[in-house]
Structure formats: structure tokens, C-alpha cells
A and B are shown apart, each in its own frame.
Chain A
Amino acid sequence: MNAAARLPRNFMSWVRRRPTMQGIFLAAPAGIWLLLFLGLPLILVLLYSFWIQAPGEMVERRFTLENYERFLTRPIYVRILIRSFRVGIETAILALLIAYPTAYYLSKRRSGSTILIFLILVPFWTSYLIRLFSWMLILMEQGVANGILLSLGIISEPLRLLFTPFAVVIGLIYSALPFTILPIYAVLRGIDRELVPAAKMLGATDIQSFLEVTLPLSVPGIMTAFIITFISGAGSFLAPAILGGKGADLMSNVIVNRFLEAFDWPFGSALGIVLLVTTIVMLMIVSKYVALDKIYGPDK
């Protein structure tokens, strides 16, 4: 056998005998991708946030905290940050309230849940932008929602629905629902089917069994759904831009505005870092209060 053919084989067996090397090789494609397209840009943003936009379209590359000072001293930015989190939390909680019963129903079905999940995912074959525009048609003054409410006599004149924070949350819930339903569904499906009957045999009613067994065991799914929905809500750009009015801008809208309209990349970068860090801190606080090891007990 010639050397050229032997080399790769030797190399592979060398790798196979070293679990760490094997891990490195398997993780490499994703790792390199993330490093190039997430890590590097993030480092750049971080660097920019410590530089300053000098008058005359020049970025002055000297270390300064001026951008962060500006964020803290102008109440408008802090207010928008708080609004972003509020929208994120509202979206997450409302989406959970809608998604949990749906996921519960799907998990209880003996068959046919695949079809229903498929139907839940179908809207995602359409562009997000187009779906948001269709919400405009529903929410506008002469839109579907007002039409129905008027004809039912619930209201006497059209409500202002579009271009409000309410419209933003509606749009966000809509886009978040599948990502809220699926993790909860997956966790509910994984719960041993005999646990609720066991609780009932021990004297618990249907509601008590749900509260004692199903709900606590589905917390991991609720957490996953909450985190995904919260992040996508608090960091959303398109929904506030299209469905929100003047006062509905969230952090992402301001950041985009800094970059593309004010050409103030350093300040935009600083706002981006603020959003990133505060989001991480928020999630750390949440996951500390809902420690998953409290649900399943300590490891062996």
C-alpha cells in the first residue's frame, strides 16, 4: 500500500482513539461558522462601542465610555430599553398562555398531532414581512378586526388598533407561537403517561394532578418557550417598525436608526451591547429562580 492512501487512515484511527480530538473535529464546522459570523462581528461591535463618532463622518479610534454615558444620561434610551423588556415579557407571557393549552391538547391526542403541528408551521413558509403586512390589513381602521367588532355591535366606531404597542405585541405573539408551542409540546409528550393516573389513584382530582404533576414537569418546556419568545420580542425590529406607531420603537429600531440614519456606528454599537448584556442578565436572573435541578432533584 502506498503512503498516500495509508496516511488518512492512520490519521482517522489516531483521531478515533482520542475522544477529545473526536469532539473537536465534530464541533469544528459549527464552531468555525459561529466564530467567523458571530464572534468576530460581536468583537467588532464591542470595539466600536468604545470608540466615538467624531463630527464629519470619522470614527475616532480612542477608548472612551462616552457612548455608554450618553445611554445612561438620556432618559429616552433607558425608557426604550425598559419598553423592549416589557414588550418581551408581555409577548412571552401572553404567548405562553395561548400556547400551553394548545400544546397540552396536542400532547393528549392519540394520533393526528403531526398534521396539526404541520398546520401550525405552515404560515412560516410565507415571508415574515408579508405576514406582518397582512396583520396591517386586519388591524387597520377599515380592517377585518374593526369590521367584525362593529358588525357584532361590540363597538360603535372603529378602534385605533394599528400603529400601537398593542399591535406590536399581537404581531410578536403571532410569530412566536410555534416556537412557544413546540418546546412545551415536546416536554409534555415526554412526561410518563402513567404519572397523572398515578396521582389520581392517590386521591388527586384532575386539576390537582395537573398542578402537582404535569405543570411542574413541563417547566423546562415553559422556560425554553419563555426564553425564545422573550428574546425575539425584546429584540424585535420588524414588528415595531411595521405595526408600531411613533411611540412603539424598541431597542432594535433605535439601533438600526443609529447605524443607517444617524451614521453613528459607535453609539449604535453601544446600544447593541447594552441590549445584549441586559438580556443575558435578565435570563440569568430568571434561570436562577427557576433552577432546573430543583425540578428533578440533584444528580446521583
Chain B
Amino acid sequence: MIDVDVRNATKQYGKVLAVDDVSFQVHKGEFLTLLGPSGCGKTTTLRLIAGLDTLTSGEVFIREEDVSYAPPYARDVSLMFQNYALFPHKNVLDNIAFGLKYRERGIGKDERIQRVQGALELVRLPGIEKRYPRQLSGGQQQRVALARALVIKPTVLLLDEPFSNLDLKLREEMRVELKQIQEQVEITFIFVTHDQEEALMLSDRVAVMEEGKIIQLDTPRAVYEKPLSRFVAEFIGQSNFLHGKVVRSDPSGAEFKTESGLLLLVPDDPLLPTGSSGVLQIRSERVHIYRDKPQTVTGNTLSGKIERAIYLGNSIQYFIRLRGDDLIMTIHPAKGEIPLERGTDVWVAFDPEDSRLMRGT
């Protein structure tokens, strides 16, 4: 079943297209993430689904009902705000019961209190009904906000960067918990973030947005392994990019010559015709580093000199200046060894299958 169906949604502010012809569908129980840098239109898209912003054109369906121009209170969705937006003059009970009061008029006071208690148990904060928002820590406020959004049992829960105000440790905890809660309540989640790690970890599918458009919508693995553009590759994970031209392209394989003159084997998917210029993307963690020329490795083997080594605890980052003057970065798990020194001559190698050829420059 399709819970949310966004068709050609467009939002214009003056001359700025905040959301530019965006279409996607979200299945029941799915966790979809809108990922992108600030200003890419992800929050506006969310607010268009919520009804807090009005579409310039396009349509929004929730469970096959056209809600394109319905007010927020007439849509079966709930939104968790970035700053939580808890009512400061109401205690936790009244904050969470607010939605029940207006969305489910039929239920009595006892049931209302029961539902609030149930929601607080779900977010593991029982017994704080009488407290006021300013008496709670940031993490607690967030849980209350989640409880308030979930207690009305919406078809879809929208989450607008809910973790961005938390410190790293708490954020990591909350991610795990949010995923568990989502699996428990079986509600469709649309989650907005600029944090790629969050997106990869939580989502069933990720929609990467740039300048108001969705440029790739796929599973986390596909988005990471097969980015459709340099923007996606740069936004998610760490990569090296080498510019050049395809010099051979036939079913047996393809070859790529960088502007600096390196000749590299590249994958034949996608196949670019001979002579076309493009960018070769190589994930940093897929570049291996050797002190001596590796004999057993197939693929691309290149020599260079370490220009900088950065020790990061669990990994070491090397910037290696290649023979043709290209700079390549590798991330390499640290197993307690001393980082190679700057100026050391090394070899780097990578499998053509771990690189990707993209059009453009």
C-alpha cells in the first residue's frame, strides 16, 4: 500500500524554487529519508506533506486521499519539529494529550491519560506527566516530542532533523531507539536530515536532494555504492575524484586516462563511449596502500609519496601524491601500527569495480 504519494510537488518563494517538481511514493511502514545539504528543499518538502506550506503546484496524496490543499489538521500526519516545539505552558501530560484532544474527540479522559502513559512508556520516559518542558533535558524533551507525535497514531510521521540539537553520544543512542520504535509502531516515517550517517543507518530508502530536486532515490546501499552523480558521491561518504577521458570502451572493459596522464581500468557500468570526458570516483576506504609494489593485486596499481598522514584512532588517513601529481586520499583501519611517515614512497591499488565513472567534469 502507498501511504504517501507526492506528485510533481513544486514550491516557489518569490523567484526561488524551493521544491522543484518532486515526485516520490512511500510505502506503508517504510522509513524514507530526505537527505541533502541545508537549502536543498528537504524541509520544505516535508512541510508540504504536512500542510504547513502550500503547494505552488503538484499534488499530495495520503492513503489515496488527495490532501494537496487540505489544512494540517485535516491530514492524517504528524510532525516532529527540529526544536521539538513543546508547549512551554503545558506539562508533559497536556502536551502529549493535545493531539488526542483535537484529533480524537470521542475518547474520554481516562483513556486519554492511558494513551499518554502508553506513549511515554514507548519512549521510555514513564512517570513524568506532571513535569514542564523546561524542567526536562534536551534528550527528554525530544522523547516527549516523539511521544506527542506518535500518540495520535498518524498514518505518517514526519521528522524534521530531530537529532540535530543533541550531542553526539545522545544522538547515536536516539538513532537506535528511533529505529526500534518505528519497527514497533509500524508507522510510515519520512525523515529529514543532512547527516548521511543517520540516513544510511535508519532508512529503507534515501532520497538525496539538491537544489529542490530529488537526484537519487534508492536503498542506502545503492546510494552509497552506485551514486548517480558527483554530488551524491561527495555528499555521502568520502571519495577521490579524477578527471579525464574514456580512451577505450568495449565489452571486454574500459580504460580511462586522467588529465595527469594515468591510465586506469574502469568498470563498464555505466558504459561511456570512447572519447567522452568524465570523472572517476574512487571511495577512499577502497584504496589500498602498500610499502612495496604489490605483485598479487589485479586492477589499478599506482605509485606515489605520502604527503600527509592523519591519525584518527580507529583509522589512519593518508594523502598520497601520485606520480602524475594527482592527490589521492585513503582511509585505512588502524591496527595499532605507527602511521607511515610523510615522504614515504608507497603504492596504492584499487579494484576497478570499486570505482565509478560519471559523466561531466
A247 sits at the interface (CB 8 A): no
Contact assessment for A194 and B85 in the assembled complex, using a CB-CB cutoff below 8 Å: yes
A119 touches B (CB below 8 Å):
no
How far, in whole Å, are A204 and B98 apart by their CA atoms in the complex? 9
Output the residue of B78, B102, B103 with the most chain A CB within 10 A: B102
- B52 touches which of A195, A197, A297, A298 (Cβ 8 Å): A197
Contact A201-B89, Cβ < 8 Å, known A208-B102, A297-B132? no
In the complex, which of the residues A195, A203, A217 has the most CB atoms of chain B within 10 Å of its own CB atom? A203
Q: Are B103 and A297 in contact (CB under 8 A)?
A: no
Binary B-proximity of A283-300 (CB < 8 A = 1, otherwise 0): 000000000000111101
Is there an interface contact between A198 and B87, defined as CB atoms closer than 8 Å?
A: yes
Q: Is there a chain A Cβ closer than 8 Å to B296's Cβ? A: no
A-B contact count (CB 8 A): 76
Interface residues in B, total, Cβ within 8 A: 29
Closest to B83 in A: A194
Check B134 for interface membership: any CB of A closer than 8 A. Answer: yes
In the complex, which residues 167-223 of chain A have their Cβ closer than 8 Å to any Cβ of chain B? 192, 194-195, 197-205, 208, 212-213, 216-217
Give chain A residues whose Cβ lies under 8 Å from the Cβ of B89: 216-217, 295-297
CB of A195 within 8 A of CB of B87, answer yes
A6 to B101 Cα, complex, angstroms: 69
Q: Which residue of A lies closest to B101 (CB)?
A: A203
Q: Is the CB of B103 within 8 A of A213?
A: no
Cα distance, A195 to B71, chains bound together (Å): 16
A196's closest neighbor in chain B, by CB?
A: B85
Closest residue on chain B to residue A300 by CB atoms: B135
- Please name all residues of chain B whose beta carbon is closer than 8 Å to the beta carbon of A205 when the two chains form the complex: 71, 73
Chain B positions 71 through 112: 1 when the CB is less than 8 Å from some CB of chain A, otherwise 0: 111000111011101111101000000110111000000000
> Considering only CB atoms, which chain B residue lies closest to A195 in the complex?
B85
Alpha-carbon separation in the docked complex, A195 to B89 (Å) = 11
Residue B60 at the A interface, CB < 8 A? no
Interface status of B283 (Cβ within 8 A of chain A):
no
Q: Which residues of A contact B79 (CB under 8 A)?
A: 197-198, 201
A298 to chain B: which residues have CB within 8 Å? 132
- Could you tell me if B102 and A192 are in contact, using CB atoms closer than 8 angstroms? no
* Set B78, B98, B149: member contacting A199, Cβ < 8 A: B98
Q: Is B52's CB under 8 angstroms from A201's CB?
A: yes
Residues of A within 8 A of B42 (CB): none
Look across to chain A and name the residue whose beta carbon is closest to the beta carbon of B94.
Answer: A212
Q: Chain A's interface: helix, strand, loop or mixed, by majority?
A: helix
The residue on A at minimum CB distance from B79 is A201
Cα separation A296 to B77 with both chains bound (whole Å): 28
Q: Given known contacts A200-B73, A202-B152, A208-B102, is B132 in contact with A296 (CB within 8 Å)? A: yes
CB–CB A300/B72 < 8 A: no
A300 pairs with B88, CB closer than 8 A: no
Tell me if B245 counts as interface (CB < 8 A to partner A): no
Residues of A within 8 A of B85 (CB): 192, 194-195, 197-198
Interface: B230 (CB within 8 A): no
Task: Decide: A297 and B135 in contact? CB cutoff 8 A.
Answer: yes
Q: Are B148 and A202 in contact, CB atoms less than 8 angstroms apart?
A: yes
Query: For B83, what are the chain A residues with a Cβ–Cβ distance below 8 Å?
Result: 192, 194
A32: min CB distance to chain B, Å: 37
- The reply to whether A297 and B91 contact each other, CB–CB distance below 8 Å, is yes
CB-CB < 8 A to A202: which residues of B? Answer: 73, 78, 98-99, 102-103, 148, 152
Measured CB to CB, the closest approach of chain A to B93, in angstroms, equals 12
Task: Please measure, in the bound complex, the distance between the C-alpha atom of A199 and the C-alpha atom of B71, giving whole angstroms.
Answer: 12
Offer 9 A-B interface pairs, CB within 8 angstroms, sorted by A.
Answer: A198-B86, A199-B98, A200-B73, A201-B78, A201-B99, A205-B71, A208-B102, A212-B87, A296-B89
Interface residues of B (CB under 8 A from A): 50-52, 71-73, 77-79, 81-83, 85-89, 91, 98-99, 101-103, 132, 134-135, 148-149, 152
Give me 9 other A-B pairs in contact (C-beta within 8 A), A195-B85, A213-B87 excluded. A197-B85, A200-B71, A202-B73, A202-B78, A203-B99, A203-B152, A212-B98, A217-B89, A300-B135
